[in-house]
Amino acid sequence: MTKSGVRKEGIKGTLTGWLYLAPALAFLIFFMVYPLIDVFIYSFEEGYNSASQTYFGIGGYNYSYVLRDPYFLQAVKNTFILVIFTVPISTILALLISLALNSIDKLKKLFQTIYFLPYVTNTLAVGLVFMILFRKTPYTDGLINLLIKAFGMSAVDFIEGPYWAKMLVLCIYVIWIVMPFKILILTSALASVNPVYYKAARIDGASKTRIFFKITLPMISPMIFYLVITGFIGAFKAYSDAVAIFGVDLNAAGMNTMVGYVYDMLYGDGGGYPSYASAAAIILFAIVLTITVINLIVSKKTSQKG
Amino acid sequence: MDVRLEHLTKVFPSRDKKGSEVVAVNDFNFTIPEGKLIGLLGPSGCGKSTMLYMICGLENPTSGKIYFGDEDVTDIPSEKRGVGLVFQNYALYPHLTVRQNITFPLENLKGEEKLTKEQRNQKALEAAKLVQIDGLMDRKPGEMSGGQQQRVAIARALVKMPKVLLMDEPLSNLDARLRLQTREEIRRIQKATGITTIFVTHDQEEAMSISDMIVVMKDGIFQQMDQPQKVYDDPVNLFVAKFLGTPAINVFEADVKDKKLYIGEDMVMDKVNVKDGPVWCGIRPEGFILDGNGALKCSLTGVDVMGRDTSIVSTNPKMTGLSVRSIISAEDLKLTSKDSVRFNIKRSKTLLFDKESEGRIYYD
Amino acid sequence: MAKSQDILKLERNAKTKNAVFKIVMYIFLAFWGLVVLFPFYWMLLSSIKSYASYMSERLPKFYASEPTFENYVNAFTQVPLAKYFLNTIIYTVITTALMMIVIVFSAYAFARLDFKGKSLLFVGFLALMMIPNELVIITNFVTITNMNLRNTFLGLILPSVTSVFYIYLLKENFEQVPDELYYAAKVDGTSDLKYLFKVMIPVCRPTIITVIILKVIECWNSYVWPRLITDDSNYFLVSNGIQEIRENGFGRDNIPAMMAAVVAVSLPLIILFLVFRNKIMEGVSREGIKG
């Protein structure tokens, strides 16, 4: 007997199946499939006017406009810096924390619970707290600056001050936000490594570092690659973290991200240009796709070597 | 209610485009008499579960008809056929108590058949009493042993008083001791209710021990149907002969010359009334008589004493299995040599089969 | 004799080393715990300082000398925080409920029903899982605008009532329910619909609860879509509400009142998390395993 189910052959069965799926299908077609096609169309419609829903012509002007727009270039730069710093740092930090978690018994549950908290909190709300901690105002230098001054350095305005300082806060906040997911995944990956391997290695007299590089790391490497890939994708799509710290007008702060640029083009003070937004979104996803493919190739090569 | 199958066939379309169709059940014709316990027997994957699912209406036959009594039920949906089904893994609803599990089928009754809650509980209690689990009505399946779950499954199948009770490998998930106990239980319940019962199994011993009749099938094809002992004594072909009995029948390559049966050089039987040529010769383990001057010479490899009986393990160049197993009563055990053994064979326990078709050749 | 003392020494060394290692680990973990908890502590602390005392602290104090709930009163009276809460609750409840209906039926169809085109359709669904929200949001924004659904709950809710990932998650779980349960129900004359509600959903309750919780978290924290689709503060959800409070809330820089609002917004989810900790963490880690 093969696993077949009760065969409701014929029209009636097919009708039932599609009926059960109808709501999901309707929503998906209307809010995912059609928009996916439409975004490409928008991106090639030149001079689209959202009020009259008319356009002059078809061509690549939207793309060239976006690529020459200094705000977009700033957003690309910001996004890339964000990706380059936050992905490796958060992944390595999460790995260290997970290893430390794995080496203790007492309080483990408590630490895991605490570490997961940022995942369930509202990005906008906690971002406000970060802003206050880092901010320098005429009244007070803010807590972080007091700490810096205690080490004998001078205070910096992290929120409205120099670019590097603003970038630093954003990176710190993004890392703080993405850590829970990474720690969770890596801790469960580490926990799923069969302890027999560790016992065997200890009998063979392998040192802790050797055990880590020769046994643990290869065994959890699929999960690390998964985290790196999703980390890249996530960091490229960063937006609400920046809004949380620098406010809605990210272009003015010089802290916009690529996704932020898309939304600003769509709606807001500089908005009303779905064509530019579409072109920018498609450029963004071309970049994300390329990076993901490179990541996949690298991960495949590495795992083959290993 | 007798169950009659006419030219029943089930063809599964191939899973992928290149593969061929699978004929799970091929042209079945037989009648299951009313009130009997029938064992449907065959090796794994021979189509017996498909057959069971067709009888209960979970699978539609590709062609052929199924009758319950005089009524053609081929196109009647499962729930209107009045069948009860017990699954190999019991298929109890894990989130419901025993009582809720047993009353579940009754809740679907509509119109005139509709029952009040009290009636449903009453019926459930009756069914539970029949299988002796009435003390466990408020447990969940997860809190019960395999044997108890099995009883709940039977109670659930019986509660609607089905015309036909079907069981799919009902004992295979139980341990050896429970299996013996539960098969007696099934026998008892079947006798008490008188419901025509068909159960599927791949375990011939199980089928032989409790069935009124057994049906043997292979690769979707009907082989034989009769009382268990008759099938054992008088199989229609080599497959059926090999499938029934433990230890299995010993099969030799043999030749008939001038009405005499030879295994290798040894003339083991005369007055064999068939034409000359090669045949398969099957000898049941109990068909050997130990005799220092016996006709069949084998090399001795070991003796297993199993209490009342003794099993002699030996080899012969013409055998088809790994060894020749013969069962001798312990008193008769007198071995003359350490490395060889001689037997005479009992005529009634010796079966001949055609070399090509493997069909039975009657030689008297 | 001398040798065995050496061994003892070695063992003692190893033990000390191990103890030191453990202590270093705990310090490291406690440090990260501090990094995670500190913002929460700070928001709570600032929210119970009075405006006057907050502004007078050139060196912020790590305690509140005169704790006050005045800020919470202000948060719910001076700005429409209660309205934002109500909006978010309405949005979360309706979106989650509608989504559960949609995905339960879809998952059931994929897991249990046999129909033409099923496997092809499922592949299509899986492909949709890879489409980033940012690509489709542009057209959706235009669509909702053109349908005049801006600043309505309908406009807020409609695009998020389906989730391919949750359909997938539920379908996997539905498939683990043994076929025999379905056959047994069929023999007893149970309809597909009744089987779904009486057997499938109760048996898969743990996964269904996990999906509900994850969706509630997602709804509660959603910011981008509500921001695009609402500019009337009568329809703001809490995320936009916080942003609105920050930009032009309590007059200039009433940080304690803002923090009170932030605490109020964060608290429901933190409580939800502490109650359903295992379910949430298990559900999120399964999100990781799918990759």
Q: Are A265 and A273 in contact (CB under 8 A)?
A: yes
Residue numbers in C near A243 (CB within 8 A): 223, 243
Residues 6+ apart with CB under 8 A from B20: B14
Residue A65 within any structural domain of the chain: no
**pLDDT per residue as tens digits for the range C184-214:** 888 888 888 899 999 999 999 999 999 999 9
Residue numbers in C near B155 (CB within 8 A): none
Q: Is the pLDDT of residue B203 over 70?
A: yes
Average of per-residue pLDDT across B195-222: 90
A217-236 vs A163-191: helix axis angle to the nearest 10? 140
How many CB atoms within 10 Å of residue B182?
Answer: 18
CA distances from A79 to A84, A174, A251 (A): 9, 12, 13
Asked whether residue A117 falls in the same domain as residue A29, the answer is no
Interface check C89 vs A, CB under 8 A: no
Interface check C193 vs B, CB under 8 A: no
Average of per-residue pLDDT across B62-78: 90
**pLDDT per residue as tens digits for the range A255-277:** 999 999 999 988 866 667 888 99
Asked whether residue A89 falls in the same domain as residue A33, the answer is no
Helix ranges, B138-274 (H): 146-158, 176-193, 204-210, 228-233, 238-243
Interface check A223 vs C, CB under 8 A: yes
Which of A24, A124, A237 lies nearest to residue C103, judging by beta carbons?
A24
Q: What is the rounded CA–CA span in Å between residue B188 and residue A114?
A: 61
Q: Are B42 and B218 in contact (CB under 8 A)?
A: yes
Q: What is the rounded CA–CA span in Å between residue A20 and residue A101?
A: 45
Residue numbers in A near B81 (CB within 8 A): none
User: Sign of torsion, CA A191 A195 A197 A200?
Assistant: positive
Answer yes or no: do A1 and B50 touch at CB < 8 A.
yes
Residue numbers in C near B111 (CB within 8 A): none
How many CB atoms within 10 Å of residue A192?
Answer: 10
Asked whether residue A136 falls in the same domain as residue A36, the answer is no
Q: What is the rounded CA–CA span in Å between residue B277 and residue B255?
A: 6
Asked whether residue A38 falls in the same domain as residue A123, the answer is no
Q: What is the rounded CA–CA span in Å between residue C112 and residue A17?
A: 9
Q: What is the rounded CA–CA span in Å between residue A174 and residue A78?
A: 13
Q: What is the rounded CA–CA span in Å between residue B169 and residue B148?
A: 16
Interface check A1 vs B, CB under 8 A: yes
pLDDT-derived band at A305, boundaries 50, 70, 90? low
* Amino acid code (one letter) for B111: G
Cα dihedral value B330, B331, B335, B341, nearest 10? -60
Q: What is the rounded CA–CA span in Å between residue C48 and residue A210?
A: 51
Residue B312 pairs in a beta bridge with B303, B326
The interface pTM score, or ipTM, of the predicted complex is: 0.89
Q: Are C99 and C161 in contact (CB under 8 A)?
A: yes
Residue A209 within any structural domain of the chain: yes
Residue A116 within any structural domain of the chain: yes
Asked whether residue A154 falls in the same domain as residue A20, the answer is no
Residue B12 pairs in a beta bridge with B22
Answer yes or no: do B49 and A7 touch at CB < 8 A.
no
Asked whether residue A176 falls in the same domain as residue A231, the answer is yes
**pLDDT per residue as tens digits for the range B21-31:** 888 898 989 89
Asked whether residue A92 falls in the same domain as residue A124, the answer is yes
Q: Taking CA atoms, what residue in C is nearest to B91?
A: C181
Nearest to C129 by CA among A257, A119, A230, A188: A230
Interface check B248 vs C, CB under 8 A: no
Nearest to B56 by CA among B48, A72, A9, B141: B48
Tokens of B39: 């064992």
Asked whether residue A134 falls in the same domain as residue A52, the answer is no
Q: What is the rounded CA–CA span in Å between residue C207 and residue C167?
A: 11
Q: What is the rounded CA–CA span in Å between residue C251 and residue C75?
A: 12
Asked whether residue A256 falls in the same domain as residue A131, the answer is yes
Interface check B95 vs C, CB under 8 A: yes
Residue numbers in A near B14 (CB within 8 A): none
Nearest to B29 by CA among B289, B236, B215: B215
Which of A21, A114, A116 lies nearest to residue C106, judging by beta carbons?
A21
* Cβ-based burial of B364 (10 A; exposed 0-12, middle 13-18, buried ≥19): exposed
Helix ranges, C48-117 (H): 51-56, 70-77, 81-112
Tell me which residue has tokens 């893994």.
B89
**Domains of chain C, earliest start first:** 2-70 (no CATH), 78-249 (1.10.3720.10)
C205-221 vs C81-112: helix axis angle to the nearest 10? 140
Q: Which pLDDT score, from 0 to 100, does residue A46 have?
A: 84
Which of A125, A132, A247 lies nearest to residue C265, judging by beta carbons?
A125
Q: What is the rounded CA–CA span in Å between residue A89 and residue A96?
A: 11
Q: What is the rounded CA–CA span in Å between residue C85 and residue C82?
A: 5
Average of per-residue pLDDT across B251-264: 92
* Cβ-based burial of B51 (10 A; exposed 0-12, middle 13-18, buried ≥19): buried
Answer yes or no: do B108 and C180 touch at CB < 8 A.
no
Answer yes or no: do A6 and B12 touch at CB < 8 A.
no
Interface residue of A40, A120, A190 to substitute, partner C, most C CBs within 10 Å: A120
Answer yes or no: do C187 and B89 touch at CB < 8 A.
no
Residue numbers in C near A126 (CB within 8 A): 39-40, 43, 262, 266
Q: Which pLDDT score, from 0 to 100, does residue C130 have?
A: 84
Whole-number percent of chain B with pLDDT over 70: 99
Residue A6 within any structural domain of the chain: no
Asked whether residue A47 falls in the same domain as residue A178, the answer is no
Interface check C120 vs B, CB under 8 A: no
Q: Is the pLDDT of residue A4 over 50?
A: no
Residue numbers in A near C288 (CB within 8 A): 181, 184-185, 188, 223, 226-227
Distance of alpha carbon C182 from the chain centroid: 34
Answer yes or no: do B93 and C194 touch at CB < 8 A.
no
Cα dihedral value A296, A302, A303, A305, nearest 10? 150
Q: Is the pLDDT of residue B111 over 90?
A: no
Average of per-residue pLDDT across B92-103: 92
What CATH number is associated with residue A295?
1.10.3720.10
Residue A142 within any structural domain of the chain: yes
Interface residue of A11, A43, A109, A128 to substitute, partner C, most C CBs within 10 Å: A128
pLDDT-derived band at C54, boundaries 50, 70, 90? confident
Residue numbers in C near A20 (CB within 8 A): 105-106, 108-109, 113
Q: Taking CA atoms, what residue in B is nearest to A10?
A: B60
Q: Is the pLDDT of residue A248 over 70?
A: yes
Asked whether residue A169 falls in the same domain as residue A251, the answer is yes
Residues 47-66, chain C, touching A (beta carbon < 8 A): 55, 57-60
Q: Which chains touch B (3 or more CB pairs under 8 A)?
A: A, C
What mean pLDDT is reported for chain B?
A: 89
Interface check A4 vs B, CB under 8 A: yes
**Phi, psi (degrees; rounded to nearest 5) at B306:** -125, 55
Kindly report the nearest CA distance between residue A274 and chain C, in angstroms.
Answer: 7
Residue A139 within any structural domain of the chain: yes
**Phi, psi (degrees; rounded to nearest 5) at A248:** -70, -35
* Residue with the larger pLDDT of the pair C85 and A213: C85
Q: Is the pLDDT of residue A233 over 80?
A: yes
Asked whether residue A153 falls in the same domain as residue A46, the answer is no
Residue numbers in C near B90 (CB within 8 A): 180
Interface check A3 vs B, CB under 8 A: no
**pLDDT per residue as tens digits for the range C160-179:** 999 999 999 999 999 999 88
Residue A2 within any structural domain of the chain: no
**How many domains would you assign to chain A?**
2
Interface check C183 vs A, CB under 8 A: yes
Tell me which residue has tokens 């209490």.
B307
Nearest to B159 by CA among B76, B109, B102, B222: B102
Q: Taking CA atoms, what residue in C is nearest to A178?
A: C36
Asked which of A136-140, B1-5, B129-133, C25-29 is least confident by mean pLDDT, the reply is A136-140
**For strand B340-345 and strand B288-290, is the pairing parallel, antiparallel, or unpaired?**
antiparallel
Interface check C177 vs B, CB under 8 A: no
Answer yes or no: do C239 and A125 touch at CB < 8 A.
yes
**pLDDT per residue as tens digits for the range A126-135:** 999 999 899 8
CA distances from A111 to A114, A174, A184, C270 (A): 5, 20, 11, 15
CA distances from C200 to B50, B157, C109, C177 (A): 24, 20, 12, 7
Q: Taking CA atoms, what residue in A is nearest to B15?
A: A2
Residue A109 within any structural domain of the chain: yes
Interface residue of C49, C134, C216 to substitute, partner A, most A CBs within 10 Å: C134
* Residue with the larger pLDDT of the pair B329 and A182: A182
User: Sign of torsion, CA A15 A16 A21 A22?
Assistant: positive
How many CB atoms within 10 Å of residue B8?
Answer: 23
* Residue with the larger pLDDT of the pair B362 and A198: B362
**Domains of chain B, earliest start first:** 3-243 (3.40.50.300), 250-361 (no CATH)
Residues 24-43, chain C, touching A (beta carbon < 8 A): 25-26, 28-29, 32-33, 35-37, 39-40, 42-43
pTM above 0.90, yes or no: no
Q: Are C58 and A139 in contact (CB under 8 A)?
A: yes
A37 is in which domain, residue-wise? 12-58
Q: Which pLDDT score, from 0 to 100, does residue A5 have?
A: 41
What mean pLDDT is reported for chain C?
A: 88
**pLDDT per residue as tens digits for the range A40-85:** 998 998 877 666 667 777 888 999 999 999 999 999 999 999 999 9
Residues 51-80, chain A, touching C (beta carbon < 8 A): 53
* Cβ-based burial of A150 (10 A; exposed 0-12, middle 13-18, buried ≥19): exposed
pLDDT-derived band at C244, boundaries 50, 70, 90? confident
Kindly report the nearest CA distance between residue C182 and chain A, in angstroms.
Answer: 8
Interface check A5 vs B, CB under 8 A: no
Cα-based angle B233, B235, B240 (whole degrees, multiple of 5)? 120
Q: What is the rounded CA–CA span in Å between residue A83 and residue A237?
A: 10
Asked which of A96-110, A198-212, B42-56 is least confident by mean pLDDT, the reply is A198-212
